[in-house]
Structure 1
Protein backbone atom coordinates (compact mmCIF):
# COMPACT_ATOMS: atom_id res chain seq x y z
CA UNK A 1 0.00 0.00 0.00
CA UNK A 2 1.40 3.41 -0.94
CA UNK A 3 2.23 5.66 1.97
CA UNK A 4 1.63 9.12 0.49
CA UNK A 5 -1.03 9.91 3.06
CA UNK A 6 0.83 8.79 6.15
CA UNK A 7 1.61 11.53 8.64
CA UNK A 8 5.22 10.31 8.84
CA UNK A 9 6.01 8.23 5.75
CA UNK A 10 9.60 7.54 6.88
CA UNK A 11 8.64 6.25 10.33
CA UNK A 12 11.14 3.59 11.41
CA UNK A 13 13.57 4.27 8.58
CA UNK A 14 17.23 5.28 8.84
CA UNK A 15 18.72 7.88 6.50
CA UNK A 16 22.37 8.79 5.84
CA UNK A 17 23.01 12.14 4.16
CA UNK A 18 26.46 13.24 2.97
CA UNK A 19 27.33 16.91 2.55
CA UNK A 20 24.66 17.95 5.03
CA UNK A 21 26.21 20.72 7.11
CA UNK A 22 24.12 23.33 5.25
CA UNK A 23 22.05 24.07 2.17
CA UNK A 24 20.01 21.57 0.19
CA UNK A 25 21.35 18.48 1.94
CA UNK A 26 20.72 19.78 5.45
CA UNK A 27 17.23 20.72 4.27
CA UNK A 28 16.71 17.13 3.13
CA UNK A 29 17.97 15.77 6.46
CA UNK A 30 15.64 18.04 8.42
CA UNK A 31 12.70 17.10 6.19
CA UNK A 32 13.43 13.39 6.59
CA UNK A 33 13.58 13.74 10.37
CA UNK A 34 10.26 15.59 10.47
CA UNK A 35 8.79 12.73 8.46
CA UNK A 36 9.89 10.05 10.89
CA UNK A 37 13.42 9.05 9.92
CA UNK A 38 16.40 8.78 12.21
CA UNK A 39 19.18 10.61 10.40
CA UNK A 40 22.96 10.44 10.27
CA UNK A 41 24.60 13.41 8.60
CA UNK A 42 28.17 13.87 7.39
CA UNK A 43 30.38 16.75 6.30
CA UNK A 44 34.04 17.71 6.49
CA UNK A 45 33.86 20.19 9.36
CA UNK A 46 33.27 18.67 12.78
CA UNK A 47 32.04 22.01 14.13
CA UNK A 48 29.60 22.64 11.27
CA UNK A 49 28.16 19.13 11.22
CA UNK A 50 27.63 19.20 14.98
CA UNK A 51 25.72 22.47 14.63
CA UNK A 52 23.68 21.01 11.76
CA UNK A 53 22.75 17.92 13.78
CA UNK A 54 21.71 20.18 16.65
CA UNK A 55 19.13 21.89 14.42
CA UNK A 56 17.47 18.47 14.13
CA UNK A 57 17.80 17.26 17.72
CA UNK A 58 16.60 20.63 19.01
CA UNK A 59 13.28 19.86 17.30
CA UNK A 60 13.09 16.58 19.21
CA UNK A 61 14.21 14.24 16.44
CA UNK A 62 16.99 11.64 16.42
CA UNK A 63 20.17 12.62 14.60
CA UNK A 64 23.91 12.21 14.75
CA UNK A 65 26.54 14.28 12.97
CA UNK A 66 29.94 12.95 11.90
CA UNK A 67 32.94 14.62 10.31
CA UNK A 68 34.20 12.83 7.20
CA UNK A 69 35.61 13.93 3.86
CA UNK A 70 33.85 12.12 1.01
CA UNK A 71 37.18 12.01 -0.86
CA UNK A 72 38.42 9.57 1.82
CA UNK A 73 36.77 6.18 1.29
CA UNK A 74 37.86 4.84 4.67
CA UNK A 75 36.40 7.86 6.48
CA UNK A 76 33.10 7.49 4.62
CA UNK A 77 32.96 3.78 5.44
CA UNK A 78 33.63 4.50 9.12
CA UNK A 79 30.82 7.08 9.22
CA UNK A 80 28.42 4.61 7.63
CA UNK A 81 29.46 1.92 10.12
CA UNK A 82 28.81 4.33 12.99
CA UNK A 83 25.36 5.18 11.58
CA UNK A 84 24.61 1.46 11.21
CA UNK A 85 25.84 0.67 14.72
CA UNK A 86 23.76 3.55 16.16
CA UNK A 87 20.48 3.18 14.29
CA UNK A 88 20.56 -0.17 12.50
CA UNK A 89 20.38 -1.00 8.80
CA UNK A 90 20.24 2.04 6.52
CA UNK A 91 17.17 2.52 4.32
CA UNK A 92 18.02 5.79 2.57
CA UNK A 93 21.31 7.29 1.42
CA UNK A 94 21.69 10.77 -0.06
CA UNK A 95 25.06 11.71 -1.57
CA UNK A 96 25.18 15.46 -1.98
CA UNK A 97 28.65 16.76 -1.16
CA UNK A 98 29.75 19.20 -3.86
CA UNK A 99 32.30 21.83 -4.77
CA UNK A 100 32.09 24.66 -7.28
CA UNK A 101 33.71 27.88 -8.37
CA UNK A 102 33.39 30.01 -11.48
CA UNK A 103 36.43 29.87 -13.79
CA UNK A 104 37.26 29.42 -17.49
CA UNK A 105 39.14 26.25 -18.32
CA UNK A 106 42.26 28.26 -19.21
CA UNK A 107 42.07 30.03 -15.86
CA UNK A 108 41.66 26.84 -13.87
CA UNK A 109 44.49 24.79 -12.40
CA UNK A 110 44.64 21.04 -12.79
CA UNK A 111 44.27 20.82 -9.03
CA UNK A 112 41.12 22.96 -9.09
CA UNK A 113 39.54 20.74 -11.75
CA UNK A 114 40.54 17.60 -9.89
CA UNK A 115 39.20 18.89 -6.57
CA UNK A 116 35.67 19.33 -7.92
CA UNK A 117 35.72 15.94 -9.65
CA UNK A 118 37.07 14.32 -6.47
CA UNK A 119 34.36 15.82 -4.26
CA UNK A 120 31.40 15.48 -6.62
CA UNK A 121 32.02 12.33 -8.64
CA UNK A 122 34.57 10.32 -6.69
CA UNK A 123 32.87 11.32 -3.45
CA UNK A 124 29.53 10.10 -4.75
CA UNK A 125 31.07 6.78 -5.74
CA UNK A 126 32.62 6.46 -2.29
CA UNK A 127 29.32 7.08 -0.50
CA UNK A 128 27.31 4.72 -2.70
CA UNK A 129 29.95 1.99 -2.84
CA UNK A 130 30.64 2.07 0.89
CA UNK A 131 26.96 2.09 1.90
CA UNK A 132 25.97 -1.13 0.16
CA UNK A 133 26.96 -3.51 2.96
CA UNK A 134 24.99 -1.46 5.51
CA UNK A 135 21.74 -1.23 3.55
CA UNK A 136 18.38 -2.66 4.48
CA UNK A 137 17.87 -4.79 1.38
CA UNK A 138 15.59 -5.16 -0.50
CA UNK A 139 13.93 -1.76 -0.41
CA UNK A 140 16.81 0.67 0.04
CA UNK A 141 16.73 3.99 -1.82
CA UNK A 142 19.93 5.74 -2.90
CA UNK A 143 19.82 9.33 -4.15
CA UNK A 144 22.62 11.41 -5.61
CA UNK A 145 22.44 15.17 -6.03
CA UNK A 146 23.50 16.16 -9.53
CA UNK A 147 22.93 19.43 -11.43
CA UNK A 148 21.68 20.77 -14.78
CA UNK A 149 25.32 21.24 -15.81
CA UNK A 150 25.42 17.47 -16.32
CA UNK A 151 23.52 17.88 -19.58
CA UNK A 152 23.71 21.63 -20.27
CA UNK A 153 27.19 22.83 -21.31
CA UNK A 154 27.95 25.97 -19.31
CA UNK A 155 30.61 28.63 -19.61
CA UNK A 156 33.16 28.62 -16.78
CA UNK A 157 31.78 25.32 -15.42
CA UNK A 158 33.81 22.68 -17.30
CA UNK A 159 34.83 20.99 -14.04
CA UNK A 160 31.26 20.85 -12.71
CA UNK A 161 29.78 19.76 -16.05
CA UNK A 162 32.25 16.87 -16.23
CA UNK A 163 31.70 15.78 -12.63
CA UNK A 164 27.90 15.96 -12.73
CA UNK A 165 27.72 14.14 -16.07
CA UNK A 166 29.68 11.37 -14.38
CA UNK A 167 27.21 11.26 -11.50
CA UNK A 168 24.31 10.87 -13.93
CA UNK A 169 25.92 7.90 -15.67
CA UNK A 170 27.06 6.37 -12.36
CA UNK A 171 23.44 6.56 -11.18
CA UNK A 172 22.21 4.62 -14.21
CA UNK A 173 24.98 2.00 -14.04
CA UNK A 174 24.45 1.29 -10.34
CA UNK A 175 20.68 1.11 -10.85
CA UNK A 176 21.29 -1.67 -13.39
CA UNK A 177 23.78 -3.53 -11.21
CA UNK A 178 21.98 -3.23 -7.88
CA UNK A 179 18.36 -3.43 -8.99
CA UNK A 180 18.28 -7.23 -8.75
CA UNK A 181 19.18 -6.84 -5.07
CA UNK A 182 16.21 -4.57 -4.45
CA UNK A 183 18.23 -1.34 -4.29
CA UNK A 184 16.91 1.67 -6.19
CA UNK A 185 19.38 4.32 -7.38
CA UNK A 186 18.20 7.72 -8.60
CA UNK A 187 19.48 11.29 -8.80
CA UNK A 188 17.90 14.69 -8.30
CA UNK A 189 18.99 17.62 -10.46
CA UNK A 190 18.09 20.88 -8.67
CA UNK A 191 17.92 24.15 -10.56
CA UNK A 192 18.70 27.46 -8.86
CA UNK A 193 17.73 27.18 -5.19
CA UNK A 194 17.39 30.20 -2.92
CA UNK A 195 19.57 30.70 0.15
CA UNK A 196 22.31 28.30 -0.91
CA UNK A 197 26.06 28.76 -1.16
CA UNK A 198 26.00 27.58 -4.76
CA UNK A 199 23.72 30.36 -6.00
CA UNK A 200 25.54 32.91 -3.87
CA UNK A 201 28.65 32.04 -5.90
CA UNK A 202 27.02 31.71 -9.31
CA UNK A 203 24.80 34.82 -9.06
CA UNK A 204 26.30 37.00 -6.33
CA UNK A 205 24.61 40.31 -7.28
CA UNK A 206 20.92 41.27 -7.54
CA UNK A 207 21.43 41.98 -11.22
CA UNK A 208 22.88 38.54 -11.89
CA UNK A 209 20.11 36.91 -9.85
CA UNK A 210 17.48 38.75 -11.89
CA UNK A 211 19.17 37.57 -15.08
CA UNK A 212 19.04 33.94 -13.94
CA UNK A 213 15.37 34.19 -12.98
CA UNK A 214 14.48 35.78 -16.32
CA UNK A 215 15.71 32.66 -18.12
CA UNK A 216 13.66 30.23 -16.00
CA UNK A 217 10.22 29.10 -17.16
CA UNK A 218 8.86 29.67 -13.63
CA UNK A 219 10.79 32.96 -13.26
CA UNK A 220 11.95 32.25 -9.71
CA UNK A 221 14.39 30.24 -7.64
CA UNK A 222 13.22 27.04 -6.01
CA UNK A 223 13.41 26.37 -2.28
CA UNK A 224 15.25 23.76 -0.28
CA UNK A 225 11.86 22.29 0.60
CA UNK A 226 11.13 21.76 -3.10
CA UNK A 227 14.17 19.50 -3.36
CA UNK A 228 13.50 17.81 -0.01
CA UNK A 229 9.94 16.96 -1.05
CA UNK A 230 11.24 15.17 -4.15
CA UNK A 231 13.86 13.32 -2.09
CA UNK A 232 11.12 12.32 0.34
CA UNK A 233 9.00 10.93 -2.49
CA UNK A 234 11.92 8.91 -3.87
CA UNK A 235 12.48 7.46 -0.39
CA UNK A 236 8.93 6.16 0.11
CA UNK A 237 7.05 3.15 -1.18
CA UNK A 238 5.33 5.44 -3.69
CA UNK A 239 8.55 5.38 -5.74
CA UNK A 240 9.02 1.60 -5.58
CA UNK A 241 9.18 1.24 -9.37
CA UNK A 242 11.45 4.21 -10.04
CA UNK A 243 15.15 3.59 -10.51
CA UNK A 244 17.94 4.80 -12.79
CA UNK A 245 16.26 8.17 -13.28
CA UNK A 246 17.61 11.71 -13.17
CA UNK A 247 14.72 13.76 -11.82
CA UNK A 248 14.78 17.48 -12.65
CA UNK A 249 13.50 19.87 -10.01
CA UNK A 250 14.67 23.03 -11.70
CA UNK A 251 11.88 25.46 -12.54
CA UNK A 252 12.41 24.78 -16.23
CA UNK A 253 16.18 25.29 -16.30
CA UNK A 254 16.59 22.49 -18.81
CA UNK A 255 14.11 24.02 -21.27
CA UNK A 256 16.63 26.51 -22.62
CA UNK A 257 16.34 30.29 -22.71
CA UNK A 258 12.78 31.10 -21.60
CA UNK A 259 13.10 34.90 -21.73
CA UNK A 260 10.14 36.72 -23.21
CA UNK A 261 6.42 36.82 -22.47
CA UNK A 262 4.41 34.37 -24.55
CA UNK A 263 1.33 34.72 -22.37
CA UNK A 264 0.80 38.39 -23.14
CA UNK A 265 -2.75 39.37 -22.18
CA UNK A 266 -3.67 35.83 -21.13
CA UNK A 267 -1.97 36.01 -17.70
Structure 2
Protein backbone atom coordinates (compact mmCIF):
# COMPACT_ATOMS: atom_id res chain seq x y z
CA UNK A 1 0.00 0.00 0.00
CA UNK A 2 1.57 3.23 -1.10
CA UNK A 3 2.07 5.19 2.06
CA UNK A 4 -0.23 4.15 4.85
CA UNK A 5 1.17 5.54 8.07
CA UNK A 6 -1.40 5.13 10.75
CA UNK A 7 -4.82 6.18 9.55
CA UNK A 8 -3.73 8.65 6.92
CA UNK A 9 -3.82 8.75 3.13
CA UNK A 10 -3.18 8.59 6.16
CA UNK A 11 -7.22 11.87 2.22
CA UNK A 12 -10.65 12.87 1.85
CA UNK A 13 -10.75 15.54 -0.85
CA UNK A 14 -13.69 17.85 -1.42
CA UNK A 15 -14.87 18.61 -4.93
CA UNK A 16 -12.31 20.72 -6.73
CA UNK A 17 -9.83 20.09 -3.96
CA UNK A 18 -6.82 20.23 -6.26
CA UNK A 19 -7.82 23.72 -7.24
CA UNK A 20 -8.42 24.47 -3.56
CA UNK A 21 -4.68 24.28 -2.98
CA UNK A 22 -3.91 27.00 -5.49
CA UNK A 23 -3.16 30.46 -4.07
CA UNK A 24 -5.87 32.11 -6.18
CA UNK A 25 -8.71 30.55 -4.17
CA UNK A 26 -10.11 32.25 -1.08
CA UNK A 27 -10.06 30.44 2.23
CA UNK A 28 -12.73 27.78 2.65
CA UNK A 29 -13.78 26.10 5.87
CA UNK A 30 -14.48 22.74 4.27
CA UNK A 31 -18.08 22.24 5.41
CA UNK A 32 -18.51 19.38 2.95
CA UNK A 33 -15.63 17.54 4.56
CA UNK A 34 -17.14 17.94 7.99
CA UNK A 35 -20.59 16.75 6.96
CA UNK A 36 -19.08 13.68 5.33
CA UNK A 37 -16.77 12.71 8.17
CA UNK A 38 -18.30 13.79 11.47
CA UNK A 39 -21.47 14.54 13.36
CA UNK A 40 -19.60 15.69 16.47
CA UNK A 41 -20.82 19.18 17.43
CA UNK A 42 -17.35 20.42 18.40
CA UNK A 43 -16.11 19.77 14.86
CA UNK A 44 -17.63 23.10 13.80
CA UNK A 45 -15.02 24.85 15.97
CA UNK A 46 -12.20 23.08 14.14
CA UNK A 47 -13.17 23.48 10.48
CA UNK A 48 -10.26 22.71 8.14
CA UNK A 49 -8.98 25.46 5.88
CA UNK A 50 -8.35 24.28 2.33
CA UNK A 51 -5.80 26.64 0.90
CA UNK A 52 -2.02 26.73 0.98
CA UNK A 53 -0.93 29.02 3.78
CA UNK A 54 2.46 30.06 2.39
CA UNK A 55 2.92 33.00 0.01
CA UNK A 56 2.86 32.33 -3.74
CA UNK A 57 6.24 31.38 -5.24
CA UNK A 58 7.63 30.24 -1.87
CA UNK A 59 9.29 27.34 -3.69
CA UNK A 60 10.01 29.11 -6.98
CA UNK A 61 13.22 27.70 -8.43
CA UNK A 62 13.23 24.80 -5.96
CA UNK A 63 13.20 21.07 -6.75
CA UNK A 64 11.15 18.67 -4.63
CA UNK A 65 11.34 14.86 -4.64
CA UNK A 66 8.37 13.01 -3.14
CA UNK A 67 8.10 9.24 -2.75
CA UNK A 68 4.62 7.75 -2.85
CA UNK A 69 3.65 10.92 -4.68
CA UNK A 70 0.98 9.46 -6.95
CA UNK A 71 -1.87 9.17 -4.46
CA UNK A 72 -3.15 10.27 -1.05
CA UNK A 73 -0.91 12.43 1.09
CA UNK A 74 1.91 12.27 -1.42
CA UNK A 75 -0.32 13.66 -4.12
CA UNK A 76 -1.59 16.36 -1.77
CA UNK A 77 1.88 17.48 -0.74
CA UNK A 78 3.06 17.45 -4.35
CA UNK A 79 0.10 19.59 -5.37
CA UNK A 80 0.83 22.10 -2.64
CA UNK A 81 4.53 22.30 -3.49
CA UNK A 82 3.80 22.63 -7.20
CA UNK A 83 1.23 25.36 -6.60
CA UNK A 84 3.90 27.28 -4.68
CA UNK A 85 6.35 27.13 -7.56
CA UNK A 86 8.37 23.94 -7.03
CA UNK A 87 9.45 21.63 -9.82
CA UNK A 88 8.32 18.28 -8.44
CA UNK A 89 9.47 14.73 -9.06
CA UNK A 90 7.17 11.99 -7.79
CA UNK A 91 8.26 8.37 -7.41
CA UNK A 92 6.62 5.03 -6.73
CA UNK A 93 6.31 1.57 -8.26
CA UNK A 94 3.20 2.31 -10.36
CA UNK A 95 4.40 4.45 -13.24
CA UNK A 96 0.99 4.82 -14.90
CA UNK A 97 -0.52 6.24 -11.72
CA UNK A 98 2.46 8.58 -11.39
CA UNK A 99 2.16 9.82 -14.96
CA UNK A 100 -1.55 10.52 -14.55
CA UNK A 101 -0.97 12.40 -11.30
CA UNK A 102 1.95 14.35 -12.74
CA UNK A 103 -0.10 15.47 -15.74
CA UNK A 104 -3.09 16.35 -13.56
CA UNK A 105 -1.10 18.50 -11.13
CA UNK A 106 1.04 20.16 -13.79
CA UNK A 107 -2.02 21.12 -15.85
CA UNK A 108 -3.50 22.88 -12.83
CA UNK A 109 -0.40 24.60 -11.45
CA UNK A 110 1.51 25.30 -14.65
CA UNK A 111 4.72 23.89 -13.16
CA UNK A 112 6.66 20.80 -14.20
CA UNK A 113 5.91 17.52 -12.43
CA UNK A 114 8.03 14.52 -13.41
CA UNK A 115 7.22 10.84 -12.82
CA UNK A 116 9.99 8.36 -12.01
CA UNK A 117 9.33 4.70 -11.36
CA UNK A 118 11.08 3.44 -8.24
CA UNK A 119 10.69 0.58 -5.79
CA UNK A 120 12.22 2.06 -2.65
CA UNK A 121 12.93 -1.44 -1.31
CA UNK A 122 15.56 -1.94 -4.00
CA UNK A 123 18.76 0.06 -3.43
CA UNK A 124 19.72 -0.25 -7.09
CA UNK A 125 16.34 1.10 -8.17
CA UNK A 126 16.74 3.97 -5.71
CA UNK A 127 20.21 4.77 -7.02
CA UNK A 128 18.90 4.82 -10.60
CA UNK A 129 15.91 6.98 -9.63
CA UNK A 130 18.14 9.52 -7.87
CA UNK A 131 20.42 9.67 -10.92
CA UNK A 132 17.37 10.32 -13.11
CA UNK A 133 16.09 12.94 -10.66
CA UNK A 134 19.38 14.84 -10.88
CA UNK A 135 19.42 14.49 -14.66
CA UNK A 136 15.90 15.83 -15.30
CA UNK A 137 15.61 18.48 -12.58
CA UNK A 138 18.89 18.87 -10.71
CA UNK A 139 19.74 18.30 -7.06
CA UNK A 140 16.68 18.49 -4.81
CA UNK A 141 15.99 21.20 -2.25
CA UNK A 142 13.16 19.20 -0.67
CA UNK A 143 12.98 15.45 -0.07
CA UNK A 144 9.79 13.92 1.32
CA UNK A 145 9.84 10.26 2.35
CA UNK A 146 6.16 9.42 2.12
CA UNK A 147 6.05 5.93 0.57
CA UNK A 148 4.92 3.32 3.07
CA UNK A 149 2.99 0.11 3.53
CA UNK A 150 0.67 -1.24 6.19
CA UNK A 151 -2.09 -3.72 6.95
CA UNK A 152 -3.83 -4.91 10.11
CA UNK A 153 -3.13 -8.37 11.45
CA UNK A 154 -2.67 -10.17 14.76
CA UNK A 155 1.10 -10.30 15.12
CA UNK A 156 1.10 -14.06 15.67
CA UNK A 157 -0.40 -14.50 12.21
CA UNK A 158 2.37 -12.58 10.43
CA UNK A 159 4.74 -14.48 8.20
CA UNK A 160 8.37 -13.47 7.96
CA UNK A 161 7.63 -12.25 4.45
CA UNK A 162 4.79 -10.04 5.70
CA UNK A 163 7.10 -8.50 8.28
CA UNK A 164 9.83 -7.98 5.71
CA UNK A 165 7.47 -6.39 3.19
CA UNK A 166 6.45 -3.60 5.57
CA UNK A 167 9.84 -2.96 7.12
CA UNK A 168 11.56 -3.01 3.73
CA UNK A 169 9.25 -0.31 2.37
CA UNK A 170 8.98 1.87 5.45
CA UNK A 171 12.36 1.68 7.17
CA UNK A 172 14.81 0.39 4.57
CA UNK A 173 13.15 2.31 1.73
CA UNK A 174 13.29 5.59 3.64
CA UNK A 175 16.92 4.93 4.55
CA UNK A 176 17.90 4.04 0.98
CA UNK A 177 16.35 7.23 -0.43
CA UNK A 178 17.73 9.44 2.32
CA UNK A 179 21.27 8.06 2.18
CA UNK A 180 21.49 8.02 -1.62
CA UNK A 181 20.30 11.61 -1.97
CA UNK A 182 22.22 12.77 1.09
CA UNK A 183 25.53 11.43 -0.18
CA UNK A 184 24.99 13.15 -3.56
CA UNK A 185 24.19 16.44 -1.83
CA UNK A 186 27.30 16.20 0.33
CA UNK A 187 29.44 15.72 -2.80
CA UNK A 188 28.19 18.96 -4.35
CA UNK A 189 27.94 20.84 -1.03
CA UNK A 190 24.23 21.52 -1.34
CA UNK A 191 21.74 21.63 1.55
CA UNK A 192 18.16 20.37 1.57
CA UNK A 193 15.11 19.92 3.78
CA UNK A 194 14.12 16.31 4.44
CA UNK A 195 10.70 15.33 5.76
CA UNK A 196 9.38 11.90 6.75
CA UNK A 197 5.73 10.99 7.24
CA UNK A 198 5.26 8.54 10.09
CA UNK A 199 2.30 8.00 12.45
CA UNK A 200 1.23 8.74 16.02
CA UNK A 201 1.75 5.11 17.05
CA UNK A 202 5.42 5.28 16.12
CA UNK A 203 5.75 6.93 19.54
CA UNK A 204 3.47 4.66 21.55
CA UNK A 205 3.56 1.40 19.63
CA UNK A 206 0.31 -0.32 18.64
CA UNK A 207 -0.96 -3.83 18.50
CA UNK A 208 -2.09 -5.30 15.18
CA UNK A 209 0.28 -3.06 13.17
CA UNK A 210 3.52 -4.12 14.83
CA UNK A 211 5.75 -4.10 11.70
CA UNK A 212 4.58 -0.61 10.79
CA UNK A 213 4.99 0.72 14.34
CA UNK A 214 8.48 -0.77 14.55
CA UNK A 215 9.57 0.57 11.16
CA UNK A 216 8.11 4.04 11.68
CA UNK A 217 9.84 4.34 15.05
CA UNK A 218 13.08 3.50 13.26
CA UNK A 219 12.43 6.21 10.67
CA UNK A 220 11.98 8.78 13.43
CA UNK A 221 15.22 7.69 15.11
CA UNK A 222 17.06 7.97 11.80
CA UNK A 223 15.73 11.48 11.13
CA UNK A 224 16.69 12.72 14.58
CA UNK A 225 20.12 11.13 14.24
CA UNK A 226 20.78 12.73 10.87
CA UNK A 227 19.49 16.11 12.08
CA UNK A 228 22.31 15.98 14.62
CA UNK A 229 24.94 14.67 12.23
CA UNK A 230 24.19 16.23 8.84
CA UNK A 231 23.23 19.74 9.87
CA UNK A 232 26.84 20.66 9.17
CA UNK A 233 26.16 19.83 5.52
CA UNK A 234 23.17 22.16 5.33
CA UNK A 235 20.50 19.48 5.73
CA UNK A 236 17.46 19.57 7.99
CA UNK A 237 15.37 16.55 8.99
CA UNK A 238 11.86 16.67 10.41
CA UNK A 239 8.94 14.30 10.89
CA UNK A 240 5.16 14.63 10.77
CA UNK A 241 3.03 12.11 12.69
CA UNK A 242 -0.44 12.30 11.11
CA UNK A 243 -3.48 11.10 13.00
CA UNK A 244 -6.55 9.65 11.27
CA UNK A 245 -6.97 10.95 7.73
CA UNK A 246 -9.38 9.06 5.53
CA UNK A 247 -8.12 8.06 2.13
CA UNK A 248 -9.27 5.24 -0.10
CA UNK A 249 -5.96 3.40 -0.06
CA UNK A 250 -5.38 3.39 3.69
CA UNK A 251 -8.91 2.78 4.88
CA UNK A 252 -9.54 -0.02 2.39
CA UNK A 253 -6.82 -1.99 4.18
CA UNK A 254 -6.99 -0.65 7.72
CA UNK A 255 -10.75 -0.29 8.08
CA UNK A 256 -12.28 -2.50 5.37
CA UNK A 257 -15.67 -2.81 7.13
CA UNK A 258 -15.93 0.87 8.06
CA UNK A 259 -16.52 -0.04 11.70
CA UNK A 260 -13.48 1.78 13.07
CA UNK A 261 -14.05 5.22 11.53
CA UNK A 262 -16.79 6.15 14.01
CA UNK A 263 -14.57 5.18 16.95
CA UNK A 264 -11.73 7.27 15.55
CA UNK A 265 -13.93 10.35 15.45
CA UNK A 266 -15.39 9.69 18.91
CA UNK A 267 -11.96 9.55 20.56
CA UNK A 268 -10.57 12.59 18.73
CA UNK A 269 -11.23 15.75 20.79
CA UNK A 270 -11.57 17.93 17.70
CA UNK A 271 -14.43 15.68 16.59
CA UNK A 272 -13.37 14.97 13.01
CA UNK A 273 -10.82 13.29 10.82
CA UNK A 274 -7.94 15.29 9.37
CA UNK A 275 -7.58 16.38 5.77
CA UNK A 276 -4.84 15.98 3.21
CA UNK A 277 -4.65 19.74 2.78
CA UNK A 278 -3.84 20.27 6.45
CA UNK A 279 -0.92 17.85 6.32
CA UNK A 280 0.23 19.44 3.05
CA UNK A 281 0.29 22.87 4.68
CA UNK A 282 2.41 21.64 7.57
CA UNK A 283 4.70 19.75 5.20
CA UNK A 284 5.31 22.74 2.94
CA UNK A 285 6.02 24.95 5.95
CA UNK A 286 8.55 22.52 7.43
CA UNK A 287 10.29 22.22 4.06
CA UNK A 288 10.37 25.98 3.45
CA UNK A 289 12.87 28.63 4.45
CA UNK A 290 10.31 29.88 6.99
CA UNK A 291 11.25 26.80 9.04
CA UNK A 292 15.02 27.03 8.57
CA UNK A 293 15.61 26.74 12.35
CA UNK A 294 13.45 23.63 12.77
CA UNK A 295 15.41 20.39 12.58
CA UNK A 296 15.10 17.11 14.46
CA UNK A 297 11.46 17.85 15.24
CA UNK A 298 8.69 15.26 15.39
CA UNK A 299 5.34 17.02 15.08
CA UNK A 300 2.09 15.28 15.91
CA UNK A 301 -0.95 16.44 13.91
CA UNK A 302 -3.96 14.42 15.01
CA UNK A 303 -6.75 16.58 16.43
CA UNK A 304 -5.72 15.55 19.94
CA UNK A 305 -6.28 11.82 19.40
CA UNK A 306 -2.98 10.74 20.97
CA UNK A 307 -3.44 12.61 24.24
CA UNK A 308 -7.09 11.56 24.32
CA UNK A 309 -6.04 7.91 24.35
CA UNK A 310 -3.11 8.43 26.71
CA UNK A 311 -4.78 10.00 29.76
CA UNK A 312 -5.81 7.48 32.41
CA UNK A 313 -8.98 9.35 33.37
CA UNK A 314 -9.96 10.65 29.94
CA UNK A 315 -12.90 8.25 29.67
CA UNK A 316 -14.59 10.35 32.36
CA UNK A 317 -15.62 12.67 29.54
CA UNK A 318 -18.45 10.20 28.96
CA UNK A 319 -19.79 10.88 32.46
CA UNK A 320 -23.18 12.63 32.51
CA UNK A 321 -24.05 15.61 34.70
CA UNK A 322 -26.31 13.40 36.81
CA UNK A 323 -23.50 10.91 37.36
CA UNK A 324 -21.14 13.71 38.42
CA UNK A 325 -23.78 14.93 40.91
CA UNK A 326 -24.03 11.41 42.32
CA UNK A 327 -20.27 11.02 42.64
CA UNK A 328 -19.87 14.40 44.30
CA UNK A 329 -22.60 13.53 46.79
CA UNK A 330 -20.82 10.26 47.61
CA UNK A 331 -17.52 12.12 48.08
CA UNK A 332 -19.15 14.63 50.44
CA UNK A 333 -20.74 11.79 52.38
CA UNK A 334 -17.40 10.03 52.68
CA UNK A 335 -15.73 13.21 53.93
CA UNK A 336 -18.49 13.65 56.48
CA UNK A 337 -17.93 10.21 57.92
Identify whether the pair has TM-score above 0.5, normalized to the shorter chain: yes
Tell me which of the two structures has the higher relative contact order, counting C-alpha pairs closer than 8 angstroms and 6 or more residues apart. 2
- Please report how far the alpha carbon of residue 133 of structure 1 lies from its aligned counterpart in structure 2 after TM superposition: 3.8
Determine if the alignment matches structure 1 residue 53 to structure 2 residue 105: no
Aligned to 1:227: 279
Contact 1:84 1:134 in 2 (8 A): no
Could you tell me which runs of 5 or more consecutive residues in structure 1 were left unpaired when the two chains were aligned: none
Deviations for 1:193-243, whole angstroms, at most 9, x for unmatched residues? 122422332233443211111111212110111111011001111111111
Determine if the alignment matches structure 1 residue 62 to structure 2 residue 112: yes
- Bigger shift: residues 248-257 or 112-121: 248-257
**Aligned length, in residue pairs:** 261
C-alpha separation in 1, matches of 2:104 and 2:86: 15
Determine if the alignment matches structure 1 residue 76 to structure 2 residue 126: yes
Q: Using a 3 Å threshold, how does the CA distance of structure 1 residues 219 and 113 change in structure 2: closer, same or farther? A: same
Determine if the alignment matches structure 1 residue 9 to structure 2 residue 58: yes
- Please report how far the alpha carbon of residue 113 of structure 1 lies from its aligned counterpart in structure 2 after TM superposition: 0.7
- Bigger shift: residues 130-139 or 18-27: 130-139
SS class of match (2:133): helix
- The equivalences for 1:52-201 within 5 A come to 52-59=101-108, 60-135=110-185, 137-201=189-253
Aligned to 1:239: 291
Contact 2:198 2:241 in 1 (8 A): yes
Aligned to 1:204: 256
Q: Using a 3 Å threshold, how does the CA distance of structure 1 residues 27 and 155 change in structure 2: closer, same or farther? A: same
SS class of match (2:299): strand
Deviations for 1:85-143, whole angstroms, at most 9, x for unmatched residues? 11222100001111111101111111101110000000000110011144485541000
Aligned to 1:41: 90
- Please report how far the alpha carbon of residue 248 of structure 1 lies from its aligned counterpart in structure 2 after TM superposition: 1.0
SS class of match (1:256): helix
Contact 1:137 1:183 in 2 (8 A): no
SS class of match (2:204): coil
Deviations for 1:148-205, whole angstroms, at most 9, x for unmatched residues? 1211222211111111110110111111110111100111111111224223322334
Q: Using a 3 Å threshold, how does the CA distance of structure 1 residues 106 and 36 change in structure 2: closer, same or farther? A: same
C-alpha separation in 2, matches of 1:238 and 1:104: 43
C-alpha separation in 1, matches of 2:257 and 2:243: 18
C-alpha separation in 2, matches of 1:152 and 1:216: 16
- Please report how far the alpha carbon of residue 5 of structure 1 lies from its aligned counterpart in structure 2 after TM superposition: 5.8
C-alpha separation in 2, matches of 1:151 and 1:220: 22
C-alpha separation in 2, matches of 1:33 and 1:261: 44
Contact 2:90 2:115 in 1 (8 A): yes
SS class of match (1:255): helix
Determine if the alignment matches structure 1 residue 249 to structure 2 residue 293: no
Contact 1:90 1:134 in 2 (8 A): no
Could you tell me which runs of 5 or more consecutive residues in structure 2 were left unpaired when the two chains were aligned: 1-52, 322-337
Q: Return the TM-score normalized by structure 2.
A: 0.73
C-alpha separation in 1, matches of 2:54 and 2:178: 29
